[in-house]
Amino acid sequence: MTDMTPEQIKAALDAGIISDAQAAAMREKSGAANPNASVIGNEDDMRFLRSFSDVFISLGLGLLSLGLLAIVRVMGGGILFLAAALFMFFMAEYFGRKKRQHLPTLVCAMFFLWFTHLGAAGLVSKIGLGGDITAAMLTTLAMVLFYFRIRLPFCVALIAISLLYLFYAVLLKLAPSLVRSNLGIFVVLGGLVTFTMALLYDLRDEHRTTRFADNAFWLHLISAPMIINGIALSMGIISMERLFTFKVPMIQGESAWIIMLLVVIVAIIGLAINRRALLVSSLGYAAIAIFFLIKETKVDWTTGLPLTLVVLGALVVLLGVAWHQTRNRLIKILPNWKIFPPEYDPDFAKKR
């Protein structure tokens, strides 16, 4: 089996004949280049998407899950959500282990987490066994078991979300007034812990060619919004106000500049550690800041919104095109620490 070509190993993996671990062992033993590896600097290689078929099926699963959510609510909700979670688990089993379609499995995993949380809360409420902490523990345990069965990188981020839910549930139980009066600080703390875990995965895979890099990608994706939102909450610079029938975040004057500064800092950190995911997950805050900065010029919102999209889109395109060149310059002035990957090398894959 170790004499198989990279193409044969990939075909066996896609057919579900071998596991990811077996495929990695075969490639390492045979000295074959990893076909899923990304070159230095291309850390966000979307390995969970193979074809438009995955997108099509994922759309269907999303609609199916939302319909299931509505039906279960009509039927009374509560522990019935556990049945919906079990259904999503079987869907993940089929698409994740048998078909090896990662994007549909991601959709199944997210709804599995959501339904499990709702069902666990309903269960502990019905039998009177604890409260939010018990529900959080059950949800976390379910996600850990889900990961060990499905073994896909994005499950690590869902486990992190479950652990954060448990963390905040415990804090609210021990010191409810302290948490409510310092919510922003605790949100920042959760984001920093998640970011640290992502960095630890990155340190184990400098060239971003293994599962460790994929695990880090998803953790980075959820850490940046928590850090920015937590800082904004602790500083009191974001308020929720009603616009038409929706509540939307509102900031004014200097607050918009603070949010923009936070986004810039996140972007610089993302460049330094070579993680676009950090910047992508903070784009919503950048859009809010740009909109209110434009609004300060007395432009009405019907003009300010398209201007915001133009400015934000232009900045993203500019940074995307010049990512490697900008990063290579930044690396030259940074200390020689392992958390800062080497400069972009387009021939890295050939050298392996």
Q: pLDDT of 98-136, one tens digit each? A: 887 888 999 999 999 999 999 888 888 777 666 788 888
How confident is residue 334, by pLDDT bands cut at 50, 70 and 90? confident
pLDDT for 38? 35
pLDDT for 36? 39
* 288 within some domain: yes
pLDDT for 146? 92
| Mean pLDDT rounded to a whole number for the chain | 80
How confident is residue 243, by pLDDT bands cut at 50, 70 and 90? low
Contacts 24+ apart (CB under 8 A), 139-144: 139/113, 139/165, 139/166, 140/165, 140/166, 142/85, 142/112, 142/116, 143/112, 143/113, 143/116
pLDDT for 48? 64
In this structure, the answer to whether residues 112 and 132 fall within a common structural domain is: yes
Strand partners, 243: 246
In this structure, the answer to whether residues 244 and 345 fall within a common structural domain is: yes
SS3 of 243, please?
strand
In this structure, the answer to whether residues 149 and 187 fall within a common structural domain is: no
* 40 within some domain: no
How far apart are alpha carbons 175 and 161 in whole angstroms?
Answer: 21
Longest dimension (CA), the chain: 69
* 351 within some domain: yes
pLDDT for 235? 79
In this structure, the answer to whether residues 335 and 219 fall within a common structural domain is: yes
* 159 within some domain: yes
In this structure, the answer to whether residues 9 and 110 fall within a common structural domain is: no
* 41 within some domain: no
Structural domain harbouring 295: 179-352
For 295, the enclosing helix (H) or strand (E) is helix 283-295
Mean pLDDT of 11-18: 71
Mean pLDDT of 265-291: 86
Token pair of 319 as six digits = 């940074």
Q: What single-letter amino acid sits at 126?
A: K
Query: Residue 19 above 60 pLDDT?
Result: yes
- Are 164 and 176 in contact by the 8 Å Cβ rule? The answer is no
In this structure, the answer to whether residues 229 and 153 fall within a common structural domain is: no
* 24 within some domain: yes
How far apart are alpha carbons 31 and 203 in whole angstroms?
Answer: 23
* Residue 75 exposed, middle or buried by CB count within 10 Å (0-12, 13-18, 19+): exposed
In this structure, the answer to whether residues 23 and 61 fall within a common structural domain is: no
In this structure, the answer to whether residues 193 and 342 fall within a common structural domain is: yes
In this structure, the answer to whether residues 57 and 31 fall within a common structural domain is: no
Query: Residue 324 above 50 pLDDT?
Result: yes
How far apart are alpha carbons 49 and 214 in whole angstroms?
Answer: 13
- Are 101 and 152 in contact by the 8 Å Cβ rule? The answer is no
Query: Residue 60 above 90 pLDDT?
Result: yes
Sequence-distant (6+) residues with CB within 8 A of 325 are: none
How confident is residue 2, by pLDDT bands cut at 50, 70 and 90? very low
Query: Residue 253 above 80 pLDDT?
Result: no
Residue-wise pLDDT for 30-50, tens only, equals 444 443 333 343 455 556 666
pLDDT for 17? 73
Query: Residue 287 above 70 pLDDT?
Result: yes
* Residue 199 exposed, middle or buried by CB count within 10 Å (0-12, 13-18, 19+): middle
In this structure, the answer to whether residues 144 and 195 fall within a common structural domain is: no
Q: How many domains does the structure of the chain reveal?
A: 3
Q: Which residue has the higher pLDDT, 342 or 168?
A: 168
pLDDT for 281? 84
How confident is residue 65, by pLDDT bands cut at 50, 70 and 90? very high
CB atoms inside a 10 Å sphere around CB 331: 17
64-78, 236-250, 263-277: the lowest-pLDDT one: 236-250
CB atoms inside a 10 Å sphere around CB 252: 12
In this structure, the answer to whether residues 121 and 77 fall within a common structural domain is: yes
In this structure, the answer to whether residues 188 and 232 fall within a common structural domain is: yes
Q: What single-letter amino acid sits at 246?
A: F
Q: Which residue has the higher pLDDT, 333 or 6?
A: 333
Q: Which residue has the higher pLDDT, 37 or 335?
A: 335
For 160, the enclosing helix (H) or strand (E) is helix 154-174
How far apart are alpha carbons 262 and 229 in whole angstroms?
Answer: 10
Sequence-distant (6+) residues with CB within 8 A of 334 are: 272, 340
State which of 174, 192, 214 marks the end of a domain: 174
CB atoms inside a 10 Å sphere around CB 233: 17
How far apart are alpha carbons 199 and 235 in whole angstroms?
Answer: 26
